[in-house]
Structure formats: structure tokens, C-alpha cells
Chains A and B, each alone.
Chain A
Amino acid sequence: MAVTEQPGKPGLGERIYALLFQNYIWRSVFRSGYPNTPRNQMLVVATNVFLHLHPTRIHRTHVKITHTYCLGGLSFFMFLGLTVTGVLLMFYYIPSTETAYINMKALETDVQFGLLMRNMHRWMAHAMVILVFLHMMRVFYTGAYKPPREFNWVVGVVLLVLTILLSFTGYLLPWDQLSIWAITVGSNIAGSAPVLGGDVKFTLFGGFSIGQTSLIRFYTLHVIALPLLAAVFMTVHFWRIRRDGGMARPL
């Protein structure tokens, strides 16, 4: 009679592992098992809504940090971070010319971690503008805009403009000398457009000069309209990377 090898009794480690990651509740949340086997590692990417922005497998050259420097991903991370810090700031900010400046002062003195949140929001905004530019340069110098990725490059240019507009609209909100004059100068630039300039400026300000009507416009654009628009274009941007065959490869 042939002797077949029998599995040994599970040790303590394996029993703890089973208790933690193979119980009913855990499996209801994470459909795949713990990602310690190639099968589970692919499943965890494919079945998780956030991770499934990625494919399950990727060419080894694309994992090299020097190929992308993670610039696109980091731009997106800045957007997420700006959303989180931005929502926290919204709890303390009233978009009124009477109170906005006082709210900003209170953020510095009365609110726990208020100044830290504002500083983070500002640094991330600067970082996002720079990262988006660098990402564009990476994509250009690696020739990743070439067919079939033409349209995604255009979407990227739109996202660049939206990033700048998001930053620009946020600039007015503190309602101090720096912000209103920077926005005045910026809007005067837009207002110098041939033929339509006056209308553009009137639309931005909601009047002939900067005031309460401008503040509420910039605020609404900054906290809801432009982020939503950017989210839509980002969805298309990420979707198209996958649809166009993943990241560009030499033919």
C-alpha cells in the first residue's frame, strides 16, 4: 500500500493567521485572501476598488522609479490630500468679506492644528502645481503622448489648466492684502483679453471690482465646481491609461 504524505497539524502561527484573516467578517470585507500568494496578490488588486486603478501585472521597466518618478500618482495624492485638508478648513471658514479674515486669524490662534492644516493645504497646493508640470515633462520626454495616447495627453493639458485654476481661486479666500491684490493682478491679466476681456473680468468678479460677489464666486469654484470638474477629468485620465494599453512601451 502506497504511503501518501499527510499534512501536519497546523501550528500556532497558522491558527492565529486563520483566525485573523480567514474568519467570516474579514472575508466579507476583503474577498481575496491575505496577499501572500501570487493568486491573492492579483486578486487583491483586481477586487479592491481603489487598487484596481492599477492592472494586476505590469512590465518590470515601469516599476523602476527612474521611469516615472511617481509624478502622476503623486499629483493625484496631492489632490486627495488637498481635499482632506480643504474639508477640514471648510469647517472654520465663512466666505464673507466681514468674517473671512477673522476666520483665518482664528485658524492661527484658536483652532487646534488649524495653522498646521492651512500650512499643509498651502504646501500641497504648491507641490501639486509643480508635480503636474514635472509629470507633463516626464510624459513628454518619454514620448508617452504618442498614438494611441494622443487624447489622454489633451486630457492632461486640461488637468494642468484646472490645477492652476484651483490654486488661483483658492488664493483669494484668506481675504488679506496678498490675496486680493494677487487676484486683482491675475484677473486684470485675464481682463486684457482682446474683445472679451471686460466680460471675463466682470464674470470673475461678479461686478466691476473685487468684493463680496467675487469672494463667493471664487469660493464656490474652489471648493466644489473645479474639484468636481477635475475629478471627472481625472477619472477619464486614469481610465484612458488602462484603455490605451497601460503605460507606453517601446514598440
Chain B
Amino acid sequence: MAETTPRPRREREEEVLVWPDLVFVEFIAVMLFSVTLLILSTAIDAPLLNHANPDLTPNPSKAPWYLLNLQELLLHMEAGLAGVTVPTIALVLLAAIPYIDRKTDAQGRWWGTENSIKIALFSWGATIVLMWLLILFDAGKFEPYTRWFPGLPDGKGLSGLRTLQTDWKWTLGGLRYPNDLTNIPAPFGIDNINLAGDRKVFLYWNKGGINLVAFMVEQIIPMTVIIGLSVLLVLVQKVFRWVHTTRDVMIVLFSGFMAAFLVLTIVGTFFRGEGQNLVPPWEVPIHPHGA
């Protein structure tokens, strides 16, 4: 007997009318939000501190919360890199997602590919852990456990990336680190080309020479860590045989980006006290000194 298949339902039969089905849902959502926000507004007042005083800097001074991720990043690398270059690249890559992942499959439903839930959960989880480890490292929390690191003064460990610039000393052949690398004469004796005013072409090119050590600590290593960990996150899940398509790679990177963004925002908001020191949330002043 010939196999019979049920007639697939026509697209038209799967449709519902926007009024009332969608408009009703929207109405409920709007009402829920209006009521919740109204209750919040009666319960919690917007802050208004003392009159602005440009001569009195509050400690800590913080940007609005959605920029605290950048302010947090600023503590770990060169300001221009953290505050402008990295976010600009991130935004451009974000906008470029549909031009990289052009396949039309797996669209219009949650997750879409075979392993996408696993991938997203792993990427979020791993990134959150990694970000915390990096932040704790740069706050010097691993100093007691890194005293084995060669080239440091006796009894001292790595209290962050900066240690490589301040306390790290070694010689290799005739090369003495860091002294030989902080003031490398520019080729042909040319000076850093100053455009108008203070606009330097290369930030680490001071009068007399180039500071390669600062460049390494403030730019090369942070950039390498960002790119390296992103690549590693993809590769690890390729080894797990979870990642197959471009869509999967996008899920890894997007999830990692959002997780990093979230951790940076939370640390910047709830864990940075006076002097931008890493402290538990209850030690972060709500009304900072001076405000």
C-alpha cells in the first residue's frame, strides 16, 4: 500500500489576525511595563547629589553604568585602546555578523543549529570565568602564587600585568630588559611626527626614542589576550566537535562578547571602590566621597 502523508498545512492557514492576537499581547506587555515602572518610580527616587563642582573630584568617579565596561577595561590596558579602539572594532564586527554568516538556514527560530544551546552556555560560562580570572590577576590577587616567576625580585610575584613593566628584569646575551627597550632610538634619527599640537602618530614614541616595554604591556599583550582567548574559545569547541558551521562560530563569539561585556559592566559597577580598587560590593560607596 502506498504510504500516505498528511497534506502540509498551507502557510495561510498558519496565520492569525494581528487584531486581536498580536495587539492584545502588545497591550498586556505595555501595561505590565507601565505599571512596573510607575511603581519603581514611586519607590525609588532618581539621585540628585550636591551642585556640580569642577574643583572637587569624587572618589571614585564613575561614568554612567552602561559605559563602566569601558572604564573597567581602561584599568587593564592603554586608555585609547580600551576606550575607543576595542569598542569601535567590537561594534564594527557586531554590525558585520550577517555579512560573515550569510547562510539562510537556522533562521527564525531559537538556537537553530544542533549544538547551539550547548555552545552558547559553554561560551557564556567559560568567558565569565576567564574574565574574572583576568580581573583578579590584574588586581594582584594571584601575587602569592606567582613568586616562582623568573626575573622578579625575591619574594615578589606578579601583581598584575604592570609588574612586567615595573619589576621584571633579565639579561639575555647582551640585552638588558627593560632598560635597553624603553628608549630605542628611532631609525635615521627621525623624531615622532607631531601633527598639530599633541597628536602623536605613535603613542610610545617620546623625545629621544621608542618605549617598547610600555607598548608591549599596554597594547600588545592585552590585544593578544583578547584575540587569543576568542580564537581559543572557538577552537576548544571545535575539538569538542560542537562547532560545525559559521553560525556556530558566530554563536561562540557573540556569546563570549556579551558575557565579557556583562562581567566588565558588573565589576565596574559593583566591585570598584575608592581609587578604582577591586572591593566587595558593600564597600563601594553609593555616595562617593566628594559628591
Contacts and interface: CB of A to CB of B under 8 A. Distances in A.
- Bind each other: yes
Interface of A: 35, 38, 41-42, 44-45, 51, 54-63, 65, 67, 70, 73-74, 77-78, 81, 97, 101, 104-105, 108, 115-116, 118-124, 127, 129, 137, 140-147, 149-150, 153-154, 157-158, 161, 164, 167-168, 171, 174-182, 184-186, 188-190, 192-198, 209-211, 247-251
B139 interface: no
A144 B105 CA distance: 10
Given A54-B22, A63-B21, A168-B64, A176 B52 contact: yes
Given A57-B16, A127-B33, A164-B66, A209 B109 contact: no
B235 interface: no
Interface of B: 11, 14-23, 25-26, 29-30, 33-34, 37-38, 40-42, 44-54, 56-58, 61-64, 66-67, 70-71, 74, 79-80, 82-85, 91, 94-95, 97-99, 101-112, 116, 120, 195, 197-201, 203, 247, 250-251, 254, 258, 290-291
Contact of A56 (B18, B83, B84, B197): B18
Residue from B20, B54, B103 whose CB has the most chain A CB atoms within 10 Å = B54
A146 B37 contact: no
Contacts of B66: 129, 164, 167
Nearest to B98: A150
A93 to B, nearest CB: 13
Given A55-B18, A154-B95, A195 B102 contact: no
Contacts of A161: 91
B38 A120 contact: yes
Contacts of B58: 177-178, 181
Contact of A146 (B54, B63, B64, B98): B98
18 contacts: A44-B19, A57-B16, A60-B14, A61-B14, A63-B25, A74-B29, A77-B33, A142-B107, A142-B112, A143-B107, A146-B101, A150-B102, A168-B67, A175-B51, A178-B58, A189-B83, A211-B54, A251-B105
B21 A58 contact: yes
Contacts of A146: 98, 101-104, 106-107
Which of A42, A77, A185 has most B Cβ within 10 Å?
Answer: A185
B48 A42 contact: no
A154 B80 CA distance: 25
Given A177-B50, A182-B63, 8 more contacts: A41-B17, A58-B21, A115-B45, A147-B98, A178-B58, A189-B63, A249-B107, A250-B108
B106 A143 contact: yes
Nearest to B87: A189
Nearest to A32: B19
Contacts of B11: 59
B70 A119 contact: no
A142 B17 contact: no
Contact of A190 (B23, B84, B97): B84
A120 B34 CA distance: 9
B233 to A, nearest CB: 16
Contacts of B41: 116, 119-120, 122-123
A119 B109 contact: no
Nearest to A209: B54
B93 to A, nearest CB: 10
B220 to A, nearest CB: 15
B21 to A, nearest CB: 5
Contact of A38 (B17, B108, B247): B17
A129 B38 CA distance: 18
Given A186-B63, A189-B83, A195-B199, A177 B107 contact: no
Contact of B46 (A77, A122, A164): A122
B91 to A, nearest CB: 6
A127 B41 CA distance: 12
Sorted nearest first, the 4 A-B pairs with minimum C-beta distance are A119-B41, A192-B79, A150-B98, A248-B108
A194 B80 contact: yes
Contacts of B250: 140
A116 to B, nearest CB: 6
Most buried by B among A101, A147, A179, A192: A192
A60 B62 contact: no
A177 to B, nearest CB: 4
Nearest to B61: A181
Tell me which of B34, B83, B103 has the highest count of chain A C-beta atoms within 10 A of its own C-beta.
B83
Most chain B CB neighbours (cut-off 10 Å) among A35, A44, A146, A247: A146
Contacts of B197: 198
A184 B53 CA distance: 12
B99 A189 contact: no
B67 A56 contact: no
Nearest to A54: B18
B48 A57 contact: no
A188 B22 CA distance: 45
